[in-house]
Structure 1
Amino acid sequence: MNQDTCIARLEGVHKRYGAVTALDGIDLTIHRGELLALLGPNGAGKTTSISLLLGLHRADSGTVSLFGRDPQDIDARRRIGVMLQSANLPPTLKVKELLRLTASYYPQPRSVAECAGLAGITDLLDRRYVALSGGQQRRVQFAMALAGHPELLFLDEPTVGMDITSRQALWASIRQLVASGASVVLTTHYLEEAEALADRVCVIAKGRVVSEGTVDALRAHVAVRRIRCITATPADTVAAWPEVDTVSLQQGRLNIATTQAEAVVRRLLAVDADLSELEVQRAGLAEAFTEITRDSEAADAAQEAA
């Protein structure tokens, strides 16, 4: 991607907390108009990376920039919106009061009505924050993050506590913001969320980026395809084919794992012309993430043993 579109960067950044290395020379770029998903196991360095970009902490070494400035520069900070995992908000204020208070920090804020509409909380404006469910509170926090018309929005586990309907509504709002030119950095443990939203995915492990690319590029790390179908061909027969890795029978359907899906499908159709409900699926992002992190751990172990 063109470096001219880069609006935030970590370059060769190290960060330690006592004896713990949180970031180990990480390189990370965020570009205008993209949704970047940061994935990684707990303790990988995702939250520390965001904290540095927000100016909440300082790097021990390396370069951290936000819109070409120091992340603690007030002009840079006014161009971002933030929704962290936890938020300590005045519990007795009404939702509309929280939104007005947040908007007052910005020179040209969105209206309360626009923030509420984007976050799907118009019906909550007169409710006190303390009286809301966890999912409703997360939607209010999202509305507050939008108040300053951010060019770059940081969303740290944004849909925790939300039901499926609320989560999908928030996804639609996030897509709308990206389509309008905003950039979004998303951290999430819901891999289907990253799969649904991300233009680019960075997998972080032990304070370094171990893989990055589009969702499709990361899924390509896993060569196995999954075939499901209803067939009269016995599972034992299919399991004996050299192209097949594993076979199971579940609820009347054969489930086949193979790296040679086309060859297996041809054989299935050749032996059973009445085969039905045929599905062929590539690996999901969850499988790719598991394989990438496992490979990274194996490489680290081999390096330590050498």
Structure 2
Amino acid sequence: MNDTTPPAADAVVSVRGLSKSYGGKLVLDRFDLDVHPGEVVGLIGANGTGKTTAIECIQGLRRQDAGSIRVFGLDPAADAQRVRSQVGSQLQDSALPDRMRVSEAVALFAGPDASDPAALMGQFGIAHRARTPFAGLSGGERQRLFLVLALLNRPRLVILDELTQGLDPTARRNVWAAVEQLRRTGVTALLVTHEPTEAEALCDRVVAMRAGRILDQGTPTELVDRHGGQTIVRFTLSPSTDQAAALQQLNRLPEVQSATCIGSAITVRGARIVIAHVGAWLTARIDPLPADLDVHIPDLEAALLTLLTDPSEQAVASLAMGHAAGGVR
């Protein structure tokens, strides 16, 4: 696609040929994106890939240098008020005055057609904190409050930028559960995240970015299948087993790419379905079943490491893509 391609007819967000530079550095390079009604779409990539810049342009907070953006068929720069009335957002650096109570923040942000504030706070588990000042909220409670504020005025599109950055695992899971509630309501969402596990848990479609461009996109399973590598099944056969015959049989199983043996340790590699085929073979032919049976299934993190980094950089990238505290933009 390019900026001469018309916007998708049913798209909530349609971006064509979006380019943006800062100080001569190209941050977005002919970026294309469609987000369809009811989708949760995640943008993910390393530092400096332009994800935050893209969503700021989509909201009309920044002007692009080139390309076109349509949100509900409107230009967010020319029709800023009409677009913003239909979009709820939680940005990465969101904050409120320390002394502002939760109920005061909700009242301040509520428009004339807002949802029932008490019901919404109850839905996201912060109703009991209505009189608590912002400074007294935990990190997870603050993020759930920002979700409430983002949803308060019944938006048709919600934009969430680094929603769980800096949260402990329990708070992160609580916020994920809140987003999953949102997802079930059918609201369209555009999510920026540095966590592959978060994208895998929450997103219908993941958009992998590098150097301001989209390298690939698809469901988490599609990206794993294309870039995650092979599923590996390992187990040890008893010395009395005819290992040559076992290897011959394993290599003939559907979707098996290779079955190898070192000593009595068997390693089978192939597509994800090999787990079922190898399990059926073991059940039918091996008694007792091997006690050390181990299965490695590639995940979205493995797929993104392959897709977004050079092999020499993958150890460092693994830290950046979810094992370190720092986020990406």
Measured against the shorter chain, the TM-score band is 0.7 to 0.9
- Give secondary structure in 2 for the equivalent of 1:130: helix
Q: Work out the CA distance in 2 between the residues paired with 1:209 and 1:3.
A: 18
Change (3 A) 1:85 1:297: farther
Matched, 1:156 2:161: yes
Q: CA RMSD in A?
A: 3.3
Please name the residue that 2:231 is paired with. 225
Check whether the contact 1:151–1:181 (CA below 8 A) recurs between aligned residues.
no
Aligned length: 287
Check if 1:8 corresponds to 2:13.
Answer: yes
How far apart are residue 280 of structure 1 and its match?
4.0
Q: Which amino acid aligns with 1:285?
A: L
Shift of 1:122: 1.2
Kept after mapping to 2: 8 A contact 1:51/1:57: yes
Aligned partner of 2:60 in structure 1 is 55
1:134 corresponds in structure 2 to 139
8 Å CA contact 2:140, 2:172 repeated in 1:
no
Listed as ranges, the gaps of 5+ residues in structure 1 are 248-253, 299-306
Post-superposition shift, 1:169? 3.4
Q: What's the secondary structure of 1:4's corresponding residue?
A: coil
CA contact (8 A) 1:231 1:274 kept: no
The structure-2 alpha-carbon separation of the partners of 1:257 and 1:65, relative to structure 1 and needing over 3 Å to count, comes to farther
The residue type paired with residue 275 of structure 1 is L
Q: CA deviation at 1:227?
A: 2.2
Q: Which residue of 1 aligns with 2:108?
A: 101
For the 8 Å contact 2:88–2:157, the answer to whether it is kept is yes
Query: C-alpha separation between the residues in 2 aligned to 1:186 and 1:80?
Result: 13
User: Is the Cα–Cα contact under 8 Å of residues 259 and 266 in structure 2 kept in the other structure?
Assistant: no
1:244/1:264 contact within 8 Å kept: no
Return the TM-score normalized by structure 1: 0.82
Aligned to 2:325: none
2:186 & 2:49 partners in 1: Cα distance? 29
Q: TM-score normalised to the size of structure 2? A: 0.76
Task: Flag the 1:266–1:9 CA change in 2: closer, same or farther, 3 A.
Answer: same
Which 10-residue stretch deviates more, 132-141 or 210-219? 132-141
2:82 counterpart of 1:75: yes
Q: 2:165 corresponds to which letter in structure 1?
A: V
Aligned to 1:41: 46
Q: Residue 115 of structure 1 aligns to a residue in which SS?
A: helix
Task: Check 1:93–1:246 CA distance in 2 against 1; reply closer, same or farther (3 A cut).
Answer: farther
Structure 2 CA distance for partners of 1:15 and 1:297, relative to 1, 3 Å? farther
SS of the equivalent of 2:93 reads coil
Does the CA contact (< 8 Å) of 2:40 and 2:205 recur in 1?
A: yes
Cα distance, 1:295 vs structure 2 = 6.5
Residue 283 in 1 paired to residue 301 in 2? Answer: no
Q: Could you give the per-residue CA deviations for residues 7-61 of structure 1, whole angstroms, max 9, x where no partner exists?
A: 1122001100012111000101111111001111111111011010111100000
